[in-house]
Amino acid sequence: MKHLIAPSILAANFAHLQHDIEMINQSEADWIHVDIMDGMFVPNISFGFPVVEAVNRYATKPLDVHLMIVDPDRYLKAFANAGASIITVHIEACTHLHRTVQAIKELGCKAGVALNPHTPVSLLEDIIADLDLVLIMSVNPGFGGQKFIHNTYKKIAQVKALADASNPSLYIEVDGGVNLQNTPQLVAAGANALVAGNFVFTSEHPIDTIAQMKAASPVLSA
Ligand code: DX5
Ligand code: ZN
Protein backbone atom coordinates (compact mmCIF):
# COMPACT_ATOMS: atom_id res chain seq x y z
CA MET A 1 0.00 0.00 0.00
CA LYS A 2 1.34 3.47 -0.91
CA HIS A 3 1.66 5.48 2.29
CA LEU A 4 -1.10 7.95 3.10
CA ILE A 5 -0.61 11.62 4.01
CA ALA A 6 -2.79 13.25 6.68
CA PRO A 7 -2.16 16.99 7.12
CA SER A 8 -3.00 18.10 10.66
CA ILE A 9 -5.24 21.16 10.75
CA LEU A 10 -3.88 22.02 14.19
CA ALA A 11 -1.25 23.93 12.21
CA ALA A 12 -3.80 25.57 9.87
CA ASN A 13 -4.82 29.22 10.02
CA PHE A 14 -8.05 29.03 12.05
CA ALA A 15 -9.15 32.42 10.74
CA HIS A 16 -9.02 30.98 7.21
CA LEU A 17 -9.95 27.40 7.89
CA GLN A 18 -12.11 27.03 4.78
CA HIS A 19 -9.18 28.13 2.63
CA ASP A 20 -6.87 25.60 4.27
CA ILE A 21 -9.41 22.77 3.97
CA GLU A 22 -9.83 23.56 0.29
CA MET A 23 -6.05 23.43 -0.12
CA ILE A 24 -6.08 19.92 1.38
CA ASN A 25 -9.02 18.95 -0.86
CA GLN A 26 -7.04 19.95 -3.94
CA SER A 27 -3.84 18.23 -2.79
CA GLU A 28 -2.76 14.60 -2.90
CA ALA A 29 -3.48 14.26 0.83
CA ASP A 30 -5.54 11.21 1.76
CA TRP A 31 -7.05 12.18 5.12
CA ILE A 32 -7.47 15.32 7.22
CA HIS A 33 -6.01 14.83 10.69
CA VAL A 34 -8.08 16.50 13.42
CA ASP A 35 -6.44 16.89 16.85
CA ILE A 36 -8.78 17.14 19.83
CA MET A 37 -7.14 18.22 23.12
CA ASP A 38 -9.01 18.60 26.39
CA GLY A 39 -6.52 20.36 28.69
CA MET A 40 -6.55 17.25 30.92
CA PHE A 41 -4.99 14.35 29.03
CA VAL A 42 -2.66 16.89 27.44
CA PRO A 43 -1.76 20.36 28.73
CA ASN A 44 -3.41 22.14 25.82
CA ILE A 45 -6.92 22.77 24.48
CA SER A 46 -7.51 22.73 20.72
CA PHE A 47 -11.12 22.91 19.51
CA GLY A 48 -14.42 21.06 19.76
CA PHE A 49 -17.50 19.89 17.87
CA PRO A 50 -18.56 23.10 16.09
CA VAL A 51 -15.12 23.33 14.49
CA VAL A 52 -15.07 19.65 13.50
CA GLU A 53 -18.56 20.05 11.97
CA ALA A 54 -17.40 23.12 10.06
CA VAL A 55 -14.34 21.28 8.75
CA ASN A 56 -16.55 18.38 7.70
CA ARG A 57 -18.82 20.71 5.76
CA TYR A 58 -15.99 21.64 3.39
CA ALA A 59 -13.77 18.54 3.50
CA THR A 60 -13.86 16.09 0.62
CA LYS A 61 -11.47 13.70 2.38
CA PRO A 62 -12.07 11.49 5.44
CA LEU A 63 -11.61 13.09 8.87
CA ASP A 64 -8.98 11.24 10.91
CA VAL A 65 -9.90 12.31 14.45
CA HIS A 66 -7.22 11.94 17.13
CA LEU A 67 -8.73 12.19 20.61
CA MET A 68 -6.21 13.37 23.20
CA ILE A 69 -8.87 13.40 25.92
CA VAL A 70 -9.58 11.51 29.14
CA ASP A 71 -12.46 9.03 29.15
CA PRO A 72 -13.13 9.31 25.41
CA ASP A 73 -16.18 6.99 25.57
CA ARG A 74 -18.24 10.02 26.60
CA TYR A 75 -17.79 11.68 23.23
CA LEU A 76 -17.44 8.94 20.60
CA LYS A 77 -20.99 9.38 19.29
CA ALA A 78 -20.65 13.15 19.13
CA PHE A 79 -17.47 12.89 17.05
CA ALA A 80 -19.06 10.33 14.73
CA ASN A 81 -22.00 12.71 14.29
CA ALA A 82 -19.61 15.60 13.66
CA GLY A 83 -18.18 13.72 10.67
CA ALA A 84 -15.31 11.52 11.89
CA SER A 85 -14.41 8.60 9.62
CA ILE A 86 -11.61 7.35 11.86
CA ILE A 87 -11.64 7.79 15.64
CA THR A 88 -8.37 7.17 17.49
CA VAL A 89 -8.25 6.99 21.28
CA HIS A 90 -5.18 6.88 23.52
CA ILE A 91 -4.42 3.56 25.19
CA GLU A 92 -3.34 5.57 28.27
CA ALA A 93 -6.84 7.11 28.51
CA CYS A 94 -8.91 3.92 28.26
CA THR A 95 -9.63 1.49 31.09
CA HIS A 96 -11.77 -0.84 28.94
CA LEU A 97 -10.09 -0.45 25.60
CA HIS A 98 -11.77 -3.43 23.94
CA ARG A 99 -15.19 -2.02 24.76
CA THR A 100 -14.18 1.42 23.46
CA VAL A 101 -12.91 -0.04 20.18
CA GLN A 102 -16.15 -1.97 19.65
CA ALA A 103 -18.16 1.18 20.38
CA ILE A 104 -16.23 3.12 17.71
CA LYS A 105 -16.91 0.38 15.15
CA GLU A 106 -20.60 0.22 16.04
CA LEU A 107 -20.80 3.91 15.17
CA GLY A 108 -19.60 3.02 11.66
CA CYS A 109 -16.12 4.51 12.11
CA LYS A 110 -12.68 2.97 11.77
CA ALA A 111 -11.08 2.39 15.17
CA GLY A 112 -7.57 3.51 16.07
CA VAL A 113 -5.43 3.31 19.19
CA ALA A 114 -2.61 5.78 19.90
CA LEU A 115 0.51 5.16 22.00
CA ASN A 116 2.50 7.87 23.75
CA PRO A 117 6.29 7.80 23.29
CA HIS A 118 6.85 5.95 26.59
CA THR A 119 4.12 3.33 26.08
CA PRO A 120 5.39 -0.09 24.93
CA VAL A 121 4.01 -1.64 21.75
CA SER A 122 3.64 -4.97 23.55
CA LEU A 123 0.44 -3.58 25.19
CA LEU A 124 -1.24 -3.93 21.79
CA GLU A 125 -0.77 -7.69 21.50
CA ASP A 126 -4.30 -8.65 22.59
CA ILE A 127 -6.13 -5.85 20.79
CA ILE A 128 -4.29 -5.43 17.50
CA ALA A 129 -6.47 -7.90 15.59
CA ASP A 130 -9.52 -5.73 16.40
CA LEU A 131 -8.01 -2.45 15.22
CA ASP A 132 -8.10 -0.58 11.94
CA LEU A 133 -5.25 1.75 12.91
CA VAL A 134 -2.40 2.16 15.37
CA LEU A 135 -1.03 5.66 15.88
CA ILE A 136 2.52 5.92 17.17
CA MET A 137 3.18 9.30 18.77
CA SER A 138 6.62 10.53 17.74
CA VAL A 139 6.38 13.55 20.08
CA ASN A 140 4.68 13.95 23.44
CA PRO A 141 1.11 14.90 22.51
CA GLY A 142 -0.23 18.37 23.15
CA PHE A 143 1.52 20.68 20.72
CA GLY A 144 2.48 20.91 17.07
CA GLY A 145 5.96 21.81 15.91
CA GLN A 146 7.96 19.58 18.29
CA LYS A 147 11.08 17.56 17.57
CA PHE A 148 10.72 14.00 16.29
CA ILE A 149 11.72 11.26 18.79
CA HIS A 150 14.03 8.68 17.19
CA ASN A 151 12.88 5.69 19.22
CA THR A 152 9.76 5.84 17.01
CA TYR A 153 11.43 3.84 14.23
CA LYS A 154 11.87 0.85 16.53
CA LYS A 155 8.26 1.06 17.68
CA ILE A 156 6.94 1.20 14.11
CA ALA A 157 8.90 -1.93 13.25
CA GLN A 158 7.44 -3.66 16.32
CA VAL A 159 3.88 -2.71 15.31
CA LYS A 160 4.60 -3.87 11.75
CA ALA A 161 5.74 -7.27 13.04
CA LEU A 162 2.55 -7.65 15.09
CA ALA A 163 0.44 -6.52 12.13
CA ASP A 164 2.12 -8.94 9.72
CA ALA A 165 1.22 -11.76 12.11
CA SER A 166 -2.38 -10.87 12.91
CA ASN A 167 -3.68 -7.84 10.99
CA PRO A 168 -1.97 -7.23 7.62
CA SER A 169 -4.34 -4.44 6.55
CA LEU A 170 -3.64 -2.34 9.66
CA TYR A 171 -2.91 1.35 9.17
CA ILE A 172 0.31 2.23 11.01
CA GLU A 173 0.26 6.00 11.49
CA VAL A 174 3.01 8.26 12.82
CA ASP A 175 2.25 11.64 14.37
CA GLY A 176 4.63 14.42 15.43
CA GLY A 177 7.66 16.06 13.87
CA VAL A 178 7.16 14.30 10.53
CA ASN A 179 8.88 15.96 7.57
CA LEU A 180 10.38 15.14 4.19
CA GLN A 181 13.66 14.16 5.80
CA ASN A 182 12.30 11.40 8.03
CA THR A 183 9.49 10.26 5.70
CA PRO A 184 11.59 7.71 3.73
CA GLN A 185 12.86 6.02 6.89
CA LEU A 186 9.41 6.02 8.51
CA VAL A 187 7.92 4.31 5.47
CA ALA A 188 10.81 1.85 5.34
CA ALA A 189 10.17 0.96 8.99
CA GLY A 190 6.55 0.11 8.18
CA ALA A 191 4.53 3.30 8.60
CA ASN A 192 1.78 3.63 6.00
CA ALA A 193 0.06 6.83 7.19
CA LEU A 194 1.96 10.02 8.03
CA VAL A 195 0.53 13.01 9.91
CA ALA A 196 2.19 16.35 9.23
CA GLY A 197 1.18 19.69 10.72
CA ASN A 198 3.81 22.38 10.76
CA PHE A 199 5.89 20.89 7.98
CA VAL A 200 2.95 21.24 5.57
CA PHE A 201 1.41 24.48 6.77
CA THR A 202 4.60 26.52 7.22
CA SER A 203 5.93 25.51 3.82
CA GLU A 204 5.73 27.99 1.00
CA HIS A 205 3.66 25.70 -1.23
CA PRO A 206 1.72 23.25 0.94
CA ILE A 207 0.21 21.44 -2.06
CA ASP A 208 3.70 20.74 -3.44
CA THR A 209 4.97 19.71 0.00
CA ILE A 210 2.15 17.18 0.32
CA ALA A 211 2.92 15.86 -3.18
CA GLN A 212 6.61 15.46 -2.27
CA MET A 213 5.75 13.59 0.92
CA LYS A 214 3.40 11.35 -1.03
CA ALA A 215 6.03 10.65 -3.70
CA ALA A 216 8.85 9.84 -1.24
CA SER A 217 10.21 6.31 -1.53
CA PRO A 218 11.17 4.19 1.44
CA VAL A 219 14.87 3.89 2.19
CA LEU A 220 16.44 1.45 4.57
CA SER A 221 18.53 3.04 7.27
CA ALA A 222 22.31 2.62 7.06
C1 DX5 B 1 0.42 16.57 18.60
C2 DX5 B 1 -0.65 16.27 17.57
C3 DX5 B 1 -0.13 16.24 16.18
C4 DX5 B 1 0.39 17.57 15.68
C5 DX5 B 1 1.49 17.30 14.70
O6 DX5 B 1 -0.10 16.42 19.87
O7 DX5 B 1 -1.23 15.00 17.83
O8 DX5 B 1 -1.08 15.72 15.27
O9 DX5 B 1 -0.61 18.34 15.06
O10 DX5 B 1 2.11 18.49 14.41
P11 DX5 B 1 3.56 18.56 13.80
O12 DX5 B 1 3.56 17.80 12.50
O13 DX5 B 1 3.77 20.02 13.64
O14 DX5 B 1 4.51 17.91 14.80
ZN1 ZN C 1 -2.51 14.06 16.16
In tens, the pLDDT along 44-83 reads: 999 999 999 999 999 999 999 999 999 999 999 999 999 9
Is 175 part of the annotated catalytic residue set?
A: yes
Give the strand pairing for 84-90 and 63-68.
parallel
Which of 9, 32, 139 maximizes ligand 1 atoms within 8 Å of its Cβ, making it the mutation to test the pocket?
139
Which CA distances in Å does 37 have to 40, 89, 159, 184, 204? 8, 11, 25, 29, 27
Confirm if 46 and 35 have CB atoms less than 8 A apart. Answer: yes
Q: Is the CB of 155 under 6 A from ligand 1?
A: no
Whether the CB of 198 sits within 6 Å of ligand 1: yes
Q: Is 7 in the pocket of ligand 1 (CB under 6 A)?
A: no
Average pLDDT, the chain: 97
What pLDDT score was predicted for residue 84? 98
- Indicate the residue type of 108: G
Q: Greatest CA span in the chain, whole angstroms?
A: 47
The residue from 30, 35, 64, 132 that is catalytic is 35
Ligand 2 centroid–CA 7 distance in Å is 10
Of 16, 24, 81, 27, the residue nearest 52 (C-alpha): 81
pTM for this entry: 0.98
The pLDDT of residue 1 is: 84
CATH 3.20.20.70 fits 4-215, yes or no: yes
Domain map of the chain by residue range?
4-215
| pLDDT tens-digit series, residues 140-196 | 999 999 999 999 999 999 999 999 999 999 999 999 999 999 999 999 999 999 999
What separation in Å is there between the alpha carbon of 114 and the centre of ligand 1? 13
Please report which helix (H) or strand (E) contains residue 194, including its range.
strand 193-196
N residues, the chain: 222
Give the separation between CA 116 and CA 45, rounded to whole angstroms: 18
